Amino acid sequence: MIIFVSGKSGIEQGTDKLGRLPPSSKLVWKVLSTGHDLTQKEIINATLLPPRTTRYAISRLREEGLLIERFSFKDARQIIYSVKRAGIT
């Protein structure tokens, strides 16, 4: 007998979404998944990706709903990025 499970857990869905992304987005996600909240400039320094590639990676993560953005209290012009944890919306 074969049983099909239609639903996936939040972790499996996140993994599926991540698998469809380009390598630059996976690298940015990996850097952010260490638990540090970073600005775009800090992400560029940590990944050594060009600024344009970093912006594209961030936009793809945003489209897939894998990224949290918030304004910096120190400088409202900067956005702080972090990854969504399982079960958090």
Q: Would the pLDDT of 88 be above 50?
A: no
Which domains occur in the chain, in start order? Answer: 10-83 (1.10.10.10)
Q: Would the pLDDT of 12 be above 60?
A: no
Query: Max alpha carbon distance in the chain (Å)?
Result: 59
Q: Give the sign of the dihedral formed by CA 19, CA 21, CA 25, CA 27.
A: positive
Convert the pLDDT of each residue in 21-69 to its tens digit: 999 999 999 999 998 999 999 999 999 999 999 999 999 999 999 999 9
The mean per-residue pLDDT over the stretch 65-80 comes to 93
Q: Give the sign of the dihedral formed by CA 79, CA 82, CA 19, CA 9.
A: negative
Euclidean distance between CA atoms 27 and 16, whole angstroms = 16
Question: What pLDDT does residue 5 have?
Answer: 46
Q: Which of the pair, 16 or 11, is modelled with greater confidence?
A: 16
The mean per-residue pLDDT over the stretch 60-89 comes to 87
Decide: 63 and 29 in contact? Cβ < 8 Å. Answer: no
Question: What pLDDT does residue 18 have?
Answer: 87
Question: What pLDDT does residue 85 have?
Answer: 74
Q: Would the pLDDT of 2 be above 70?
A: no
